[in-house]
Amino acid sequence: MEMISDVLQFIGVFVSFSIAYVAYRGVRRIHSSSLLRLTAAFVFLGFGFAVEGFVGLSQVIPNLPFPTMAVVAGLLFETTGYFFLAFSHALDVMMSKRMGVALLIFPVISFSGAQLIDILSTLSFYFVLYGVVETLYSYARTRKPDTLLIAVGLAMISLGTFVQWLSLLYLNVDVLLLLQIIMKEIGLLILFIPVLNFAVGRVRLDGTI
Amino acid sequence: MAQYRTQVRIIADVLSTAKNMNTEGNGVGVTTLLRKGNLSYTRMSKLLSELVGSGLLLELNGDKISKYMISDKGTEFLAVYHQFEDFAQSFGLKL
């Protein structure tokens, strides 16, 4: 089961870096700061999945040394990625002069002496949840089916993050570990849809097919 | 409700106006760009000279006033902008 979850982590690496690549192309072409933040978010998420994948492999394959701190580093990357995603939404909220930023501040003041891994997992959960709320708000405004799909994808990721947090409490339940990875992967695969749409749109625009 | 716009969105708005309002093919005047772009004269003048300098807009010099027309490079920029706008909107974000 561990091996499956490690392989799934590397699918997450591929999806995250693909989204980051498309967003970075946007930064290069039109110098958009929103796309720069999106690039940063998915680069961090990609590194997070990669580190967590390698940590998992180090437990399965003997003689593959990996420091314990790598677990924290992986989670830190992941949380930073989700933070950039939430931060992008928060900036959009500020630019459209409506309330909603307070939701982002809430988790920062809600900890009291918890362990670092717990804090990172909880922060990730809040950041993704904030992303879900804002993406749903955006869908209500634009009625774009892709936006609704992304909201569903982010919701799956936030559920996965919640299960990850639960798996920290119940360390002996392997099913929770696999369940959180599957939820996150389904969420990430849904996030991959705009990348596919972008590729199709680009082919149409270039007229190469 | 009024919203702040990013620089890239302002540029896209100005280019769109220059493209869509140029119905007679002889360019669009500053007044039209100001009205549709919702910018101050000073800011618009600075932006127009930047856009002309970067080749996104063409400046057509008339007898008294200058008119502006979108260039091929500007049209390509707009197409790319709309593509990435779609991409960002999928994530619920604005450019």
Could you give the domains of chain A?
A: 2-206 (1.20.1070)
| Phi then psi dihedrals of residue A60, to 5 deg | -90, -45
Tokens of A181: 């990875």
Cβ partners under 8 Å of residue A146, min gap 6:
A193, A194, A197, B86, B89, B90
User: Is the residue at B66 inside a domain?
Assistant: yes
Structural domain span for residue B55: 7-89
Contact in structure between B41 and B49 (CB atoms under 8 Å): no
* Neighboring chain B residues of A86 at a CB cutoff of 8 Å: none
What tokens appear for B62 in the block?
């008339």
pLDDT tens-place string over residues A49-84: 898 888 877 776 666 566 667 878 888 998 999 999
**pLDDT digit string, tens, across residues A90-117:** 888 777 766 655 555 555 555 555 577 7
- Quick one: residue A188, left, alpha or beta (phi over 0 = left, psi -120 to 50 = alpha)? alpha
Provide the pairing of β-strand B28-29 with B66-70. Answer: antiparallel
Give CA–CA dist A44/A137, Å, rounded: 25
C-alpha pair distances (Å), A12 with each of A9, A35, A52, A105, A153: 5, 20, 10, 28, 13
The answer to whether B8 contacts A139, with C-beta atoms less than 8 Å apart, is no
Residues (pLDDT < 50) of chain B are: none
- How does pLDDT run across A1-55, given as a tens digit for each residue? 667 777 778 888 998 999 999 999 999 999 888 899 999 999 999 999 898 888 8
The answer to whether A55 and A74 are in contact (CB under 8 A) is: yes
Please tell me the predicted confidence (pLDDT) of residue B74.
92
Q: Which residue of A has its CA nearest to B90?
A: A147
Is the distance from CB of A165 to CB of A125 less than 8 angstroms?
A: yes
pLDDT in tens, B50-61: 999 999 999 887
Do the Cβ atoms of A42 and A191 come closer than 8 Å?
no
> Of A11, A41, A14, which is closest to residue A127 (Cα–Cα)?
A41
Judged by CB atoms closer than 8 Å, whether chains meet at B3 and A32 is answered as no
Any chain B CB within 8 A of the CB of A146?
Answer: yes
CB A136 within 8 A of CB A151: yes
Q: Which residues of B touch A (CB under 8 A)?
A: 1-8, 77, 79-81, 83-84, 86-95
A151–chain B Cβ distance below 8 A for any pair: yes
Asked, for residue B95, whether it belongs to a domain, the answer is no
Nearest to B91 among A98, A137, A150 (CB): A150
Chain A residues in contact with B89 (beta carbon < 8 A) = 138, 142, 144, 146-147
Name the amino acid, one letter, at A99. Answer: M
Q: How far is B64 from chain A (nearest CA, A)?
A: 33
Q: Does the residue B1 lie in any domain? A: no
Contact A23 B93 (CB under 8 A): no
- B37 within a domain of the structure (yes/no): yes
Structural domains of chain B, count:
1
In the structure encoding, which two tokens stand for residue A140, read together? 């209500």
Tell me the two tokens of residue A55.
């940590």
Minimum distance, in Å, between the CA of residue B60 and any CA atom of chain A: 25
Q: Which of A34, A204, A205 to mutate to test the interface with B (most CBs of B within 10 A)?
A: A34
Residue B94 lies in a domain: no
Q: Taking a C-beta distance cutoff of 8 angstroms, is the pair B92, A147 a contact?
A: yes
Q: How far apart are CA A41 and CA A124, in angstroms?
A: 12
CB contact under 8 A, A150 and B94: no
CA distance A64 to chain B (A): 37
The CATH number of residue B77's host domain is: 1.10.10.10
Its pTM stands at 0.83
A window 41-80, beta carbon within 8 A of B:
none
Which amino acid type is present at position A94? M
Structure ipTM: 0.82
A188 near A16, Cβ under 8 Å?
yes
